[in-house]
Amino acid sequence: MNFYIIIPAHNEEDYIAKTLESLVKQTLLPNKVVVVNDHSSDNTQTIVGEYASKYDWISIINSKSSDTHLPGSKIINAFNKGLESVDENFDIICKFDADLIFPEHYMETLASHFHSNKQLGMASGFCYIEKNDNWILENLTNKDHIRGALKAYRKDCFTQIGKLKPSMGWDTVDELLAKYHDWEILTDESLHVKHLKPTGQSYNKASKHLQGEAMYKMRYGFWITLISAIKLASKKGSFKLFRDYMRGYFKAKSQKVGFLVSKNEGKFIRDLRWKGIKNKFS
């Protein structure tokens, strides 16, 4: 089973070596690792270059976008640049962050899952963050959701969902579309991945409305957006975020921003979301 991994990286000199080191120690080595150095001003390029000189399956591509870290578009545009550089001889394509430490059997375990279930479209482990010298489960982790930091897709699933959308919410819409096309999603809680830089740490003020905009673009509708905004803001412990999410939703609606999914896909997504909400109260 051929694994290709694409890692967008912007100013990751403190983390990228640890990520690459954990990949070169895998019991099942990936066939290709492409690091997309996205407008870094630090030593990211030098560090990755050292690994590329030692391992012929690791390569680096330089991309020049901007210093602004907008979740979604910047990361996926960099990922897509890496995707353009590889052939299609992969079975599994992975989008990994540049600040992860994988257990040595991570790739081998994913391969086993994909081998044993032909309907498995996406798989991952769980993210852990360091707090008070202990590694604890990152609070955004959910057994029914694969974090954007560590996505692995079966090739047919990846193609059928239209690949990845350069927008906030890409790591939710991909799963919803996978389910729309009858693919299964698996999170293996035995795979503990160390996440060195907690999600959202480098997001800037310009991104504060993008979550609500993404909910609009996924055709959630008002009520599902309201419930989702409350849930996400409470997880992050900020009522201000709830206001930002709702403002983003109404702003996108008033500007008639383009949708990420079709009407039929949107209806499926709403039905799926309502089913999940009802199950939690039953």
**Three-state SS at 112:** helix
CATH topology of domain 3-195: Spore Coat Polysaccharide Biosynthesis Protein SpsA; Chain A (3.90.550)
Give percent above pLDDT 70 in the chain.
93
Name residues whose C-beta falls within 8 Å of residue 263's C-beta, 6 or more positions apart in sequence. 219
On average, the pLDDT of the chain sits at 92
pLDDT digit string, tens, across residues 198-228:
765 554 455 678 889 999 999 999 999 999 9
CATH 3.90.550.10: which residues of the chain? 3-195
> Considering only CA atoms, which of 71, 269, 248, 263 is closest in space to residue 167?
71
Helices (H), 1-124: 16-24, 44-54, 73-84, 106-116
> Considering only CA atoms, which of 30, 4, 189, 33 is closest in space to residue 107?
30
Confidence of residue 21 (pLDDT cuts 50, 70, 90): very high
Asked whether the predicted pLDDT for residue 114 surpasses 90, the reply is yes
Confidence of residue 282 (pLDDT cuts 50, 70, 90): low
Mean pLDDT of 111-136: 95
Residues 274 and 224: beta-carbon distance below 8 Å:
yes
Residues 77 and 95: beta-carbon distance below 8 Å:
no
> Token pair of 175, please?
């799963």
